[in-house]
Amino acid sequence: MTFSNYIIHFLVVLSFWFYALDFSVAQMDPTSTLLLRQTTRGSSEDAFDTSRYEIADPPARVQQPQEPVRKLQTPEAKKEQPASTQNDAGVPMQEPAESSPSAELTPLSPEPAMNLLDLAVAPTYMYHHAQSSYWYRDHFSSGAGLSVDLSVWVAPEMALSTGLLTSLGHSTSGSVTGDRNVAFQHDWFTAGLKFRNLYGPTAAPIYLLYGIEYAEYRVSVDKTETQRISSHSTGPRVFFELNRPQSAGVYSSVGVEFLPSLLHKEEATALDLQSGTSVKAFAVGLWLGRTYQLNSDHQVFWKLSHKAENIVFSGTANTVDPISGVAPENVSVTNSFTMFQFGFVWGD
């Protein structure tokens, strides 16, 4: 074969190859070329076109809670196993907060106050009426008063006691016609021994107060008075008072007193009066009240009392009655007192 034939043959093969290459490119899907790996340098992100694809996130796995397996335990195992600090869901449990001791309310003590010293002061309203058929011994008065009582407990069951009660600004009629009044002063004084006994439960006992005292009552008018006289009565006094708890720190009381034998004397003023040649006297009283305990040392109380003194003379009076015009015989007098007190007790 000549050289020219080689040239012609080479050109024919080359043209055929180009034709085949051009035909194959024309038949290929142009979109598929994007799937071919590029040989150019660059990041892996540039080599893959993600604009044409939507990549979905993988589905989330929902874990169903599993119920705890309950194990059977013997009584011995329960004793050995410590208490769990978690509930069934595995959540730690919080221990309940302990209440502070300082935040707790302390109830008022129901026990009666047991002090070494008790001082009671009480404003008083009193009404006094002396009833008699003899005009000179018949009178009445009313008004304010003040009482002071002191008890020193030398032992838990025994005390030295004293008391004073006086009227403030009392007056009574000073004439038969009632056209004038005269000042009338009432005074009571007591001193003696007081005892205390407790009964029942210690938390709220019933306690009994009782004692024996020297007692004195005096009524005084001016020395220049011509229609009224002064007098006084003295003698032993025995009393009993029962105190019963009603609630925490509240006690109700009821009491009675006896003055079985009194020495009664009339004291002359400008009028020298003698209602009889001899005299016998006694007195009795009763009261009720309530005590409110503020704390172990202090209390408030109220007391309603009534007392009556009976005086009987023998013989004939030395002065004519201004109303009847005759001197009476066997004169009798009944002194009655009604009092209401509201006071305060200091203890130590």
Residue 333 covered by a domain: yes
Residue 294 covered by a domain: yes
Give me the tens of pLDDT residue by residue for the chain, a chain 348 residues long. 555 565 666 666 556 555 555 544 445 444 444 444 444 444 444 445 555 555 565 555 555 556 555 555 555 544 455 555 555 555 555 555 554 444 443 444 445 567 889 999 999 999 999 999 999 999 999 999 999 999 999 998 999 999 999 999 999 988 888 888 999 999 999 999 999 998 877 667 898 999 999 999 999 999 999 999 999 999 999 999 999 999 888 999 999 999 999 999 999 999 999 999 999 999 999 999 999 999 878 999 999 999 999 999 999 999 999 999 999 999 999 999 999 999 999 988
Residue 12 covered by a domain: no
Pick the closest to residue 240 from 283, 288, 205, 208 (CA basis). Answer: 208
The pair of three-digit structure tokens given for residue 233, joined into one six-digit string: 């009565």
What pLDDT, on a 0 to 100 scale, did the predictor assign at position 232?
A: 95
Strands (E), the chain: 117-132, 139-155, 158-168, 171-173, 181-183, 185-199, 206-220, 230-247, 250-267, 278-293, 298-314, 332-347
What pLDDT, on a 0 to 100 scale, did the predictor assign at position 25?
A: 45
Q: Write phi, then psi, for 8 (nearest 5 degrees).
A: -65, -40
Contacts of 193 (CB under 8 A, 6+ apart): 158, 159, 160, 161, 211, 212, 213
For β-strands 181-183 and 185-199, DSSP reports them as unpaired
Rounded Cα distance, 119 and 114, in Å: 13
Give just the sign of the alpha carbon dihedral 171, 173, 174, 180: positive
What pLDDT, on a 0 to 100 scale, did the predictor assign at position 225?
A: 92
Pick the closest to residue 303 from 119, 124, 44, 115 (CA basis). Answer: 124
What pLDDT, on a 0 to 100 scale, did the predictor assign at position 43?
A: 46
Long-range contacts of 16-23 (CB under 8 A, 24+ apart): none
Residue 213 covered by a domain: yes
**180 backbone φψ class: left, alpha, beta (φ>0; ψ -120 to 50):** beta
Amino acid, res. 60: A
What pLDDT, on a 0 to 100 scale, did the predictor assign at position 42?
A: 46
Task: Tell the burial category of 104 from Cβ atoms under 10 Å away from its Cβ (0-12, 13-18, 19+).
Answer: exposed
What pLDDT, on a 0 to 100 scale, did the predictor assign at position 247?
A: 87
Contact 184, 208 (CB under 8 A): no
Domain that holds residue 129: 117-347
CATH number at residue 330: 2.40.128.100
What pLDDT, on a 0 to 100 scale, did the predictor assign at position 123?
A: 98
What pLDDT, on a 0 to 100 scale, did the predictor assign at position 316?
A: 95
The pair of three-digit structure tokens given for residue 206, joined into one six-digit string: 């019933």
Contacts of 315 (CB under 8 A, 6+ apart): 276, 277, 278, 329, 330
DSSP per position, 201-270: -SSS-EEEEEEEEEEEEEEE--TT-SS--EEEEEEEEEEEEEEEEEETTEEEEEEEEEEEEEEEEEE-SS
Contact 347, 118 (CB under 8 A): yes
- Structurally, the chain folds into a number of domains equal to 1
Q: Is the pTM above the cut of 0.75? A: no
For β-strands 171-173 and 139-155, DSSP reports them as unpaired
Task: Tell the burial category of 11 from Cβ atoms under 10 Å away from its Cβ (0-12, 13-18, 19+).
Answer: exposed
Residue 44 covered by a domain: no
Rg value, the chain, Cα? 57
